[in-house]
Amino acid sequence: MRTRNLVPLIIETEAANAQASPPPADRESMATRKRSGSGSKRQLKEKVVQIYESFFRGEDLTSNNPTFWDELFLLKPKVIQLEAEIQKLNPDQLSNLKDNINLLFSKCVDTLNQEHQLRIVYSLQTLSALASAVYRKMNLESGSDIINTLIGLNAAEVVMQQFLNSCNDFLSGDAPDSLKTHVLKLLLVIVTGKEEVNDNPLLEYFMITSLFEALFKLLSTTAERQVHGHDAVLLLTILVNYKKDDAANPYIVKLSILDDELALNGYGQVITSALGGFCSRYGRERAGNEGNTGSGGGGWLSSLTSMVGGMFLSGDDVNTGKTHQIRANNAVLLALYEAAHLNRNFMTTLAHTQSDRPSAPPSPVNTLSHNQTPPNAADQTEIDIAQPTNLLVTFFQYCSIVMQDTKTEPSINNCKLCFLILTCISEDQYANSIMHDCNLTFKVQLHRLPMRHRKVTPDKEAPSQTLAATLIDLLVEFVMSHMMKRLPMELYLHCIGVVHRLLCYQKRCRVRLDYQWKELWSSMISLLKFVVNNESNLSKKMDIFFLCLQIINIFNIFITYGDTFLPTPASYDQLYYELIRMHQVFDNLYSMALRYSTSDSEYKEKALKLANCLFNIKAIIKHFTPKIESWLASQSLSTPNEDQILEVVRKNYEGLMLKLQDSLDKFERYGERPLHSAFLQAALTQTVRDTRTHVDYAGADIKGLSLLHEGVVSS
């Protein structure tokens, strides 16, 4: 009876004072401002605030009130004040109050076992504020023990097991969505408590009591995936990366062997929705700026910064410039990377048509600020329902956008992460079979960077073609649009590596892809020409010979094995025509390699290897050039057309001597360690930092809370 009398009073009080809670980054400053008006008229404090103040003074509030804890969790937490009370404690005070903090944490966990849902939600919010504040406080104190301060060493194992079991029950059971949302927010607070995930000791308990099945159950149903999908995938990604080199991480093991197609497809749909939302907003922004492209395309290109910044960051962050423009996508890209890298079964979902769209999930917690308006759902639907999509289609389109900007470190890192994902996909047998299946064709709108040597026109309708052809288009576009003095060498090597893997698959499986290979050949020759022309500048900063060697190996694959995978014999003739037509580029490349191979340069051995690899190309040029010149002389022609030269090539293969080169169709399979471990760890750290800054556990699902109020009153 006491509980029933209290609830309407609480609801009435909260309704009179309800207001949206600010994000965590603003709470401490607001609390400071509230305490600063000492000279003004003293304001009445709410009961829960008075409780916090007494509690963190070390007072025993239960001695005269045996029902204190039952009543406390019927009062809506004031997270700003709770966090402020903890933040103003000095190290000695914090140490002296350890028992009180341990008790509060334990009582919150005990409350999770009650049936009173309002109490459960309030205990979850209290736990979130308590954990967040203690983590922030302890991060400032070197050598501090978060487990001992927050939970207590002696009780930690039992309390954390009880806590995680309750979370498992809520997430996998039929609890209301609002309650599940608060559980996920609390879990995000804990797993992001430390920027370096491996330094977070509480994650050890997540390894003992796994949440893997509960999180994937959320992804298996459409309704729950749309509400909780992003948070669930984000949690999984962080947990998979905890002590990743340790074989004991159950999340790595379980993700690598997961074969539940429904769950894997749900995981992919969350990623598709996040990347698809980015692409849709970019497309609308670009369409709105097409009128400004008359002066070389700077209008919509420069709008990329403001558009992406406004899409993913709060107002304060937008002003920090381009360094944050695409960073918020790292979370879903890391999720995609982990699935593509660890789970071969995930490849079966890459081309599945998405069934959730056009219904879009709520915006990720680390991509929209509390005062920012989400994208218009009607506008989103208009774009989404125009063309069926899948994860690969959306990912290729996303890559075409982010690969346009490689001028800042965050942009380069985002682009590199895309290439690592493409590398994992391109060396997987099943993924290749999907991409090369001529019965699976898609229209993928790839965005192109406006450049001086080509006219900027509105995007034409994309051709319907295989995903492999679209991927090669994407790679060709990258090659052609990034030849600059600050050559992104590492990205180019990843790009050429993906091309190499695709060709190896085609040669091995004798797949004759219907593609205009001249586009690829021309882009490779253009890159070689750029490198040779800028050799004096580039060779001082990077190893240009290794890049050139990889490109020449691509040509040698076509020369040696092209008859097994080129679509027609005419394609082989076209290859020879391009080599002969651009012979000056290869002559200059050979001269450069010869010059370095006979000097004391650090690149001597690589230059010699490059010169040797040019043998077949030089043989082709040497064989056909005199025959073409002889034919021109006999015809009294000085400017022949392409068809005439091709005819000469077709009739004069006899006598051409080529050298069979070893291991052209071999590549070193992708390995995360040791080359990419530091990069991926840095991307994870940034994701953790962004999530911790923007997760809003206090204001989560206000509407859902009101429904819980109604349920309590009606009971």
At 559-570, the pLDDT tens digits run: 999 999 999 999
Query: pLDDT per residue over 96-117, tens digit each?
Result: 999 999 999 999 999 999 988 8
Residue 524, pLDDT > 50, answer yes
**What is the pLDDT, as a whole number, of residue 143?**
54
From residue 576, give the alpha-carbon distance in Å to each of 435, 476, 490, 562. 27, 19, 29, 11
Region of 152 on the Ramachandran plot (φ > 0 left; ψ -120 to 50 alpha; else beta): left
- Which pair of structure tokens corresponds to residue 665? 């169709």
Residue 214, pLDDT > 50, answer yes
Q: What is the pLDDT averaged over residues 117-128?
A: 94
Query: pLDDT per residue over 321-336, tens digit each?
Result: 334 446 778 999 999 9
**What is the pLDDT, as a whole number, of residue 389?**
79
Separation of alpha carbons 659 and 653, rounded Å? 15
- Is residue 355 very low, low, confident or very high in pLDDT (cuts 50, 70, 90)? low
Separation of alpha carbons 133 and 85, rounded Å? 9
> 345-354, 456-465, 490-499 — which is least confidently predicted?
456-465
Query: pLDDT per residue over 71-98, tens digit each?
Result: 999 999 999 999 999 999 998 899 899 9
Residue 301, pLDDT > 70, answer no
Alpha helices in 61-97 (DSSP H): 68-72, 79-87, 91-96
**Angle, CA 253 vertex, CA 435 and CA 222 arms, to 5°:** 60
Query: pLDDT per residue over 625-640, tens digit each?
Result: 999 999 999 988 888 9
Separation of alpha carbons 604 and 612, rounded Å? 13
Separation of alpha carbons 228 and 364, rounded Å? 9
Separation of alpha carbons 329 and 413, rounded Å? 11
Query: pLDDT per residue over 608-621, tens digit each?
Result: 999 999 999 999 99
Region of 661 on the Ramachandran plot (φ > 0 left; ψ -120 to 50 alpha; else beta): beta
**What is the pLDDT, as a whole number, of residue 31?**
44
Q: What is the pLDDT averaged over residues 467-472?
A: 97
What percent of the chain is modeled with pLDDT above 70? Answer: 79
What percent of the chain is modeled with pLDDT above 90? Answer: 65
- Rounded to the nearest angstrom, the gap between the alpha carbon of residue 238 and the centroid of all alpha carbons in its chain is 12
Q: What is the pLDDT averaged over residues 489-509?
A: 97
Q: What is the pLDDT averaged over residues 145-153?
A: 92
Query: pLDDT per residue over 224-280, tens digit each?
Result: 999 999 999 999 999 999 998 877 899 999 999 999 999 999 999 999 999 999 998
Lookup result for tokens 């930092």: 689
Handedness of CA 452, 457, 459, 465 (dihedral sign): negative
Return the C-alpha torsion angle 637, 638, 640, 644, nearest 10: 40
- Rounded to the nearest angstrom, the gap between the alpha carbon of residue 46 and the centroid of all alpha carbons in its chain is 43
CB atoms within 10 A of CB 95: 13
- Is residue 353 very low, low, confident or very high in pLDDT (cuts 50, 70, 90)? confident
Q: Which one has a higher pLDDT value, 359 or 572? A: 572
Residues 6+ apart with CB under 8 A from 255: 212, 236, 240, 338, 339, 342, 343
- Is residue 408 very low, low, confident or very high in pLDDT (cuts 50, 70, 90)? confident
Residue pair 401/329 in contact (Cβ under 8 Å)? The answer is: no
- Is residue 142 very low, low, confident or very high in pLDDT (cuts 50, 70, 90)? low
Half-sphere exposure of 410 (CA within 13 A, CB side): 18
Half-sphere exposure of 198 (CA within 13 A, CB side): 8
Q: Which one has a higher pLDDT value, 381 or 154? A: 154
Residue 34, pLDDT > 60, answer no
